[in-house]
Amino acid sequence: MAGWHPGSWRSKTALQQVEYPDPAALQAVLNELTVLPPLVTALEVDTLREQLAEAACGRRFLLQGGDCAERFEDCREDVIKNRLKVLLQMSVVLVYGLQMPVVRIGRFAGQYAKPRSRPAECRGGVTLPSYRGDSINGQAFTAEARTPDPRRLITAYRCSAIILNLVRALGEGGFADLHNVDYWNLDFAGHSSFYGEYRAIITRMRDALRFAETVSGQPVGGLRRVDFFTCHEALYLPYEEAMTRPSKYREGMYNLSTHFPWIGRRTLQLEGAHAEYMRGICNPVGMKVGPDLSPAELRGLVHHLNPNKTPGRLTLITRLGVNNIERMLPPIVDAVRATGHQVLWCCDPMHGNTERTKDGYKTRRFDNILGELALAFDIHASMGITLGGVHFELAGEDVTECIGGASGINEADLRRAYHTSVDPRLNASQSLEMALRIVSKYKQMQ
Ligand code: PEP
Ligand code: CO
């Protein structure tokens, strides 16, 4: 890759970076990270790329989901397990309804750095640096918490390793086994009106499984374990650079802090540092495509990030908003089609539908989220291409951050369990309901 090395982004303009008060302390941390073991392997990264290539052709479906911003305090067994349960419930519904294998990518084990619209926040006449995610600074509105601390990068690495360890153990060790679906029940989600729909799917699947195992006299293979891949926004580039390693068995350099890094809307510029960094790594990468990205720039980025047209390399995660998608998605699809590249199209119906209530809560409406998704399915189908995945911000907890859904969360409920540190997430019930609605939409279209 001409002129590229893990630090070549340093010659470009890098937006959303951090000024540390003590650059020598930052350098010491980066040196420490450079010799710490990788969190994922190049082999896994390659497997994911192959699976995403299949999703791009409509032979698999991508489910990407998790926190907007992970917090160190959520590195806890219950939080990790509950989020995994929701993703497992959703994926089983999707597998059954879409009749396709599902690729599960968690927004976890590294989603600790956040881009912000404003570098500083002002409250009651006091101005402090904005919160930029737990890997950078603290959320409390004090000068001490908001001062970037490089040791947080090490904590982010450690929490990622701990989370990944439990996720891998749960994925392998019986918890994710389709025979044990009852392990995935969430105490608080059983009352929702659509829960019966989920139970009916589980019962049908169990019956089919029992039948197959009775007839063949042996267990159906491949159901005992599931793969979870990880993703995060590759935002703070010195961290990503420190985690970029050569592979012993493959050619090229891999970001081994995560399987799937993505470039966020705010740092996606053709001439920018983030595109430069991503251009040289072998991971499959995502790009968040927002309303402000011109089709011409998108075309340039597609060539820039995937000059060899490697299958599975590029996922375009569109986040246009329910009011923009009909107008904006067709020219985007046309522009990419004109490049001759096959990309995986994924819909993020969260980030274009954020609003603020009169009480100041950032929220999203279930109906707008579902509305954008349904339109994405229709528009892609009418243009003869596959919508191969969905991207959600969700929690395994009974939070009240998004409005609507069968449980009827309204504006007044937001103050009850609003825990996110950045964007509002679907709670466990809303997430499962969303998976069921995706399946209904998909079936309607067949
Ligand atoms: C995010 O995914 O949390 C995010 C900031 O998204 P976007 O870059 O699409 O705004
Ligand atoms: Co977000």
CA of 263 to the centre of ligand 1 (A): 9
Region for residue 356 given its phi and psi (left: phi exceeds 0; alpha: psi -120 to 50; beta: otherwise): beta
**How many angstroms does the Cα of residue 350 sit away from the middle of ligand 2?**
8
Task: Match 């040289």 to its residue by tokens.
Answer: 280
User: Looking at the CA of 111, which ligand is closest?
Assistant: 1
* Binding site membership of 423 for ligand 1 (Cβ less than 6 Å): yes
Ligand 1 neighbour 319 (Cβ under 6 A): yes
d(CA 56, CA 263): 19
| Sequence-distant (≥ 6) Cβ neighbours of residue 350 within 8 angstroms | 319, 364, 369, 391, 392, 393, 423
- Given a contact cutoff of 8 angstroms between Cβ atoms, the answer to whether 300 and 270 are in contact is yes
- Token representation of residue 277: 């960094």
C-alpha 233 – ligand 2 centre gap (Å): 10
Closest-lying ligand 1 atom to the alpha carbon of residue 69 = 3
Expressed in angstroms and rounded, the spacing between residue 265 Cα and the centre of ligand 1 is: 6
pLDDT computed for residue 187 by the predictor: 73
Q: For residue 415, which amino acid is it?
A: R
**274 pocket-lining for ligand 1 (C-beta < 6 Å):** no
310 CA → ligand 2 middle, Å: 28
Question: Residues 425, 426, 431, 436: is their CA dihedral positive or negative?
Answer: negative
Contact 318, 325 (CB under 8 A): yes
Is 106's C-beta closer than 6 angstroms to any atom of ligand 1?
no
Task: Give the number of whichever ligand sits closest to the CA of residue 117.
Answer: 1
Cα(116)–Cα(146) distance, integer angstroms = 13
Per residue of the chain (446 residues), give pLDDT as tens: 889 999 999 999 999 999 999 999 999 999 999 999 999 999 999 999 999 999 999 999 999 999 999 999 999 999 999 999 999 999 999 999 999 999 999 999 999 999 999 999 999 999 999 999 999 999 999 999 999 999 999 999 999 999 999 999 999 988 888 888 888 888 766 667 788 899 999 999 989 999 999 999 998 878 888 999 999 999 999 999 999 999 888 889 999 999 999 999 999 999 999 999 999 999 999 999 999 999 999 999 999 999 999 999 999 999 999 999 999 999 999 999 999 999 999 999 999 999 999 999 999 999 999 999 999 999 999 999 999 999 999 999 999 999 999 989 999 999 999 999 999 999 999 999 999 999 999 999 98
Mutation test residue for ligand 1: of 260, 288, 316, 347, the one with most atoms within 8 Å of CB: 288
Whole-model pTM over 0.95: yes
Task: State if residue 115 touches ligand 1 by the CB under 6 angstroms criterion.
Answer: yes
Ligand 1 pocket, 68 CB below 6 A? yes
Which ligand 1 atom lies nearest to the CA of residue 115?
Answer: 5
Q: For a pocket test of ligand 1, which of 64, 262, 265 has the largest count of ligand atoms closer than 8 A to its C-beta?
A: 265
Residue 82's nearest CA partner among 170, 197, 178, 179 is: 170
Q: Say if CB 254 and CB 313 are below 8 A apart.
A: no
- CA separation for the pair 289, 337 (Å, rounded): 15
Give the per-residue pLDDT at 23: 98
Task: Identify which of 70, 105, 351 to mutate to test ligand 1's pocket (most ligand atoms within 8 A of the CB).
Answer: 351
Ligand 2 centroid, distance to 214 Cα (angstroms): 46
Max Cα distance, the chain (Å): 73
The reply to whether ligand 1 has any atom less than 6 angstroms from the CB of 265 is yes
Atom of ligand 1 nearest to the CA of 267: 8
**Ligand 1 pocket, residue 107 CB under 6 Å:** no
Q: In this predicted structure, what is the pLDDT of residue 250?
A: 85
The CA distance from 27 to 406, in Å, is 50
Write the single-letter amino acid at 59: R
From residue 119, alpha-carbon distances to 12, 50, 100, 134 in Å are 20, 38, 43, 16
